[in-house]
Amino acid sequence: MATELEKISFETQPDRYNHIILLVDGPIARIRLNIQEDKPLREGYKLKLNSYDLGVDIELDDAVNRLRFEHPEVSVVCIESALSGMFSAGANIFMLGASSHTHKVNFCKFTNETRINIEEATQKSGQRYVAACNGLAAGGGYELALACSEIHLIDDRKSAVSLPEVPYLGVLPGTGGLTRVVDKRKVRRDRADVFCTVAEGVKGKRAVEWGLVDYVHPSSQFVDRVNERLKELAGSGNDAKGISLTPIGATVEGGTHKYRHVTLDINVESRSARLVIEGPEASAAQIPDDPAELGADWYALRMWRELRDAILQLRFNYPTVGTISIVSKGDLKNVLALDQVVYARKDHWFVREVLLQQARVLKMIDVTARTFYALVTPGSCFAGSLMEIVFASDRAYMLDDDEGDNGIALSVLNGGALPMYHRLSRLQNRFYEEQDTVDAILERSGEIIETQEAYDLGLVTEIPDDIDWEDEIRVALEERISLSPDALTGLEANLRFVGPETMESRIFSRLSAWQNWIFSRPNAVGEKGALTSYGQPDKPEFDWSRV
């Protein structure tokens, strides 16, 4: 168990899981929730009734990701419970009640990303998720089931699916619950309103009728019916051989997290960090006939896994480090060559998964509540997929040098292969409803674009020359660091996304934003707030103003 001061680690593997059992049998895999109540991530609460905390979710996330890379032969994944008569009671309330606002928000964000990844695996990786609710699926437990493409519920006259957050806790089913009920399951809004305010939830035939679940099975037949369905969905499977997702193993010294290709330098005192990304060697673009032979050490996969870990470190372990400068080192041409082969082989299952992994990490940056400034200097390698990091940043500063040594480049991957949550490419998001501009820029793919031109094309924010550079950057960073962190979070979250919404983007922009507001209100977290007084003898006391 970690104390508040210990850093959370996001690396795990099946033989170290505490809470879930991962079983693979040909095309059918099972993620069995077997949550150990005595092994919470932090002290102070017990994970009763398959309720979960971040520690559980880190394992769940690992399992989902591992199935995609290590078990491409799997085509259906069943999420089930090891407890009898209980699927999951959702996020642990005492954990939530005891957590800081920051932790709650980060926890929900991580959980949301995991749920979205389950759906992505279903849609993009051919791994269909089925929830086998052998008992009550409440709150976050039902939200986990909602992330699956179909839900089976036991019909024992007592087991229900429910979202009791509003009546019990005075907060929202905030990890996608409200959104998926209406957006994905198409439950009529008035019924959804009823469902979300009835603490005991809905069971049996009515649950099917309302669209809350897909199937109900009598107790005696539940296991068999689910298994039949899994077989039906699994089909004959395939013979793809997975890779081994080996640990990325960062070394941490002081504030420096050093990975093979990524270094995260934290300066807690100045509330800033520097993220250094090293580009690929030329050899990364040499792909064997079966790209899976490249394994987890392939730059196109490894660097992005490292970057993901670095972002999670920032989110959870350095809450006050608000301003991140991103720099890169390497050869633009190597990135372009690598992107080219990735694109050329994107239909191969492994390359497809690599590309999806890259897209997921970029989406994480899009919704990370930190300021990112990309600094483009000679010797950097922001091209193609790495240029997406610049586009994901709030600003980009590019050194205008006399020699013309500074450049960026676009590749075929900038044309939509790495979409944002609202499915626009970052170029489309940057030049909203200016498809001609986007197309003209994409026509330059493969060329090295020098500073002035990059500026003229609108690809970077400012281009100080070598005389001004140091001062400009210092002042820009100092200025940013001095601004209200809350206002910046709001500012960035609003400016980073334009145009359309999708279910995923709505989860972050609408559901999370409201949930985080409620999380900071006395009606939830005040001394007499509902979340605080859950499980206490006294009823919560509300300030009745509707705000």
Partner 1 sequence: MVDGKVNYDDVIPNNVAISDSRKLQRAIKEWHPKFMKWWWERGPESYQHNDVYLRTAITVDASGWATYAYVRMPEYKWGIFLAPKKTETIHFGDRQGQETWESVPGEHRNDLRRLIVTQADTEPGSVEQQQLLGHSAPSLYDMRNLFQVNVEEGRHLWAMVYLLMQYFGRDGREESEGLLIRNSGDADTPRILTTFNEPIVDWLDFFCFAMFTDRDGKYQLGALAESAFAPLARTTQFMLTEEAFHLFVGETGVGRTIRRTAQLMKETPNEDVTTVDAIPLDIVQKYINYWYSVSLDLFGSEDSSNAANFFGASLKGRFGESNRKKYPDPLCRDTAYSIECLDENGRKTTTEIPMRRAMNAVLRDTYIEDTYRALRRWNKVFEKEDIQYRLQLPSDRFNRKIGLHAAHQADVEGNFLTAEEWEKRKDEWLPTPEDKAYVKTCMVPVREPGKFANWITPPYRGVSGKPIDFEYVRL
Structure token pair of residue 321:
């480090």
Among residues 184, 53, 56, 163, the alpha carbon closest in space to that of 116 is found at 184
Please, which residue, 412 or 454, has the CB nearer to partner 1?
A: 454
| Phi, psi at 167, each rounded to 5° | -70, -35
Q: Residue 290 interacts with partner 1 (CB under 8 A)?
A: no
Structure token pair of residue 448 = 């090295």
What's the alpha-carbon Rg for the chain, to the nearest Å? 24
Site mask for partner 1 (CB under 8 A), range 442-481, x = bound? --------------------x-x--xx--xx-xxxxxxxx
Cα–chain center distance at 131: 20
Quick one: 282 or 483, whose CB is closer to partner 1? 483
Which residues neighbour 199 within 8 Å (Cβ) at sequence distance 6 or greater? Answer: 162, 164, 167, 168
Counting contacts by CB under 8 A, is residue 440 touching partner 1?
no
- Find the Cα–Cα–Cα–Cα dihedral 11, 15, 21, 23, rounded to 10°: 110
Count how many residues are written for the chain.
Answer: 547
Nearest one of 404, 406, 405 to 396, comparing CA atoms: 406
- Of the pair 10, 469, the CB lying nearest partner 1 is at 469
Q: How far apart are CA 403 and CA 107, in angstroms?
A: 47
543 binds partner 1 per the rule CB under 8 A: no
Q: How near is the Cβ of 402 to partner 1 at its closest, in Å? A: 12
* Min CB(483)–partner 1 separation in Å: 8
- The verdict on 396 binding partner 1 (CB under 8 A) reads no
Q: According to the binding rule CB under 8 A, does residue 491 interact with partner 1?
A: no
CB count, 10 Å around CB of 426?
Answer: 22
| CA 70/CA 345 separation, integer angstroms | 19
Least separation in angstroms between residue 269's CB and partner 1 is 15
268 binds partner 1 (CB under 8 A): no
Our CB check for partner 1 shows the closer of 183 and 462 to be 462
CB of 395: closest distance to partner 1 in angstroms? 13
Whose Cβ is closer to partner 1: residue 243's or residue 376's?
Answer: 376
The reply to whether 194 sits near partner 1 by the rule CB under 8 A is no
Residue 475 C-beta: closest distance to partner 1, Å: 4
Q: Does 486 bind partner 1 (CB under 8 A)?
A: no
Strand blocks (E) in 290-385: 323-329, 371-376
> With contact defined as beta carbons under 8 Å apart, do 408 and 449 qualify?
yes
Nearer to partner 1, 273 or 420 (CB): 273
CB of 467 to partner 1, least distance (A): 5
Q: How far is the CB of 469 from partner 1 (least distance, A)?
A: 9
Q: List contacts with partner 1 (CB under 8 A).
A: 462, 464, 467-468, 471-472, 474-482
